[in-house]
Amino acid sequence: MIRPTRKGLVVVGLGFIPAILVVLLDGRFWALWPLAAVLIGIAVAIDAALMPGRGQVDIDLTIPERLPLGQPSAVGLTIHAHSRFLFGRRVELMAELEPALGQATPITLDFDAEGLLQAELPLRPSRRGPHRWLAFWVRWQSPLGLMERTIREARDQTIRVLPDLAAVERAALSYLLRNDPFSGHSRQRFIGEGSEFDGLVEFQPGHDSRSLDWKATARHRKLLVREHRAETNHHVVIALDTGRLMCEPIDGLTRLDHAIHATLMLSWAALKAQDRVAVCGFDERLVMHHESRGGVHAIGGIRERLAALEYSFAETNFTLSLAQISQRLRRRSLLVVLTEFNDAIVAGLMRDALERLSRRHLVLFVSLRSPELKELALSRPGDLADVNRAVVAAGLVAERRAVLSQLKRDGVHVLDVDAADLSSALVNRYLDILRRELV
């Protein structure tokens, strides 16, 4: 597509002004009007003819098949111009893509002296699932800048947006190196607090004298104490609510995506701690169940199943969904439920279902605080409308606090945190449960 630039319109307008003025002053020079039009038309036509066409430009796009959710990414771009009229000239680039892949903003760059342009188009996916890269737009100007050509390079390609497993592993490894009772020197922090025999060590000041092994002491002729550690091979079941309330965005990602990121980090920690992990998703019914697996290598399969979870706009049916999950639990397990609620009726049904599960399993209820609700409740009102909003928000906060307190009284462990603290707080609670051998 070819069209005049702003500069071209200004030049054409200024070119006609002298001819118009002369004709207005003396009608005998009316011939200047068509003469000016012909000269301007010839100049524009020559400029447009010298402008390089699509065949004089090679475009190479490197579009990845997968992108990590919520992380800055880029698409590699190389443009090689075969026309000297583009050497050192400026071009404008823009991607045509689905909004979930990122914001499509124009980028202005320059060809080098040899007609080569290399760039990276920034992307930041905000939703999981398959999304389409539709096309790529390039625009450049004619040698005099009077005209511009816009081309659309169709590149209909599907990009899968997956949870960022690399970031999860880095965060989990960094966290576990400081806190993990099962690896490295940090293990010594929790030795002696479990029930599984770990080994015999020589008595040191600070050891509990009740741990002395007198038979081993007599045999080796030095004081030896028995050390224990927390048991392994627990069953950890992580259930994610995919219903309507979990589609609410917080800090650029939905509640569900925050929950998936935390689930991956908890799964990685549990697998490394030699526990077995199962994941499932539910809304009005159970929509996904991934059988328990052991070993760190299982994290890839867990990510694939979590990435396939769809955003649902159905109301969550806690009674049916949690009953279906309970039917699949063959032994006592740590059941982590990541969900959300917003009214007393739904909260009552949820409490009843969780209370029944807590009779046989250790249930950890996890929810995310709403930053908007907290801000409204604590903000200083400026008018009557602000007062009304603050009162309603404070009432919702109080109602939420009451539901969480009731869950604790029912024997359910509760974790209610901000989105930024979810992953670390969840892993920390998991390690605390292991250390106390509550499962």
Spans of all domains in the chain: 2-50, 54-161, 165-182+232-436, 200-228
Task: Provide the token pair at 423.
Answer: 């992953």
What is the rounded CA–CA span in Å between residue 40 and residue 34? 10
Q: Buried b vs exposed e over 44-61: b needs ≥16 C-beta within 10 Å?
A: beebbeebbeeeebebeb
Report pLDDT digits (tens) over 100-144: 888 878 888 888 888 888 888 888 888 888 888 888 888 888 888
Low-confidence ranges of the chain (pLDDT < 50): 182-192
What pLDDT is attached to residue 365? 97
92 three-state secondary structure:
strand
What pLDDT is attached to residue 189? 41
Report pLDDT digits (tens) over 151-179: 888 888 889 888 887 777 676 666 656 55
Report pLDDT digits (tens) over 194-218: 556 667 788 778 777 777 778 878 8
Q: How far is CA 13 from CA 5, 7, 30, 124, 379, in A?
A: 12, 10, 18, 43, 56
pTM, to two decimals: 0.74
CATH superfamily of 165-182+232-436: von Willebrand factor, type A domain (3.40.50.410)
What pLDDT is attached to residue 127? 87
Q: What is the sign, positive or negative, of the torsion defined by CA atoms of 270, 178, 339, 248?
A: negative
Rounded to 5 degrees, what are φ and ψ at 95? Answer: -90, 150
Q: Which fold has domain 54-161?
A: Immunoglobulin-like (2.60.40)
